[in-house]
Amino acid sequence: MNQKNANVETYILFEIAGTTYGVSSQSVQQMEMVEHITPLPNAPPFVEGVVFTRGQVIPAVNLRSRFGFEKAPHTTRTRLVVTNHNGRMIGLIVDSAREFMSIPNNAVQPPPDSIAGLSGKYLKGIVTVDDRIVLIIELDELVNVGQYRASALEA
């Protein structure tokens, strides 16, 4: 990486329940339309099941459910954002995803302490882009099922 780009990171932006989120583009393998999802028995409520994509079976996590929002039917705008985090492939089901953006590292602010125990555990930071707020996702926490059975994400 050259010095000019050393302080800039690129993100894939997506929407969930009217809010814009971002995830590091380095973690994203591909984006595609949501097709057939095979349900898994005894999976956490936010794991819709598994999908077969590009020769691999991967878990599909509904971010609406993971973030505590009401589930919505999949539409033609719904996307599966396939991430590779620490060697583990996980599909994130989002309402829409179509933006790719470079954001200076110094523009990303840490989440306020007041939300640290709530939704803050999924947030790496918050940035204002033009006149909108973008919440930067912390994949470590997002894919940590904690009290849920980790085997549900080990497809």
CA atoms of 136 and 154, how far apart (whole Å): 25
Residue 17 backbone phi and psi in degrees, to 5: 50, 40
Express as a percent the part of the chain with pLDDT over 70: 84
User: Binning pLDDT at 50, 70 and 90, where does residue 2 land?
Assistant: very low
Q: What is the pLDDT of residue 88?
A: 86
Q: What is the pLDDT of residue 152?
A: 43
- Domain architecture of the chain: domains with CATH: 3-153 (2.40.50.180)
- Summarised one tens digit per residue, pLDDT across range 31-49 is 999 989 999 998 888 999 9
CA atoms of 17 and 123, how far apart (whole Å): 16
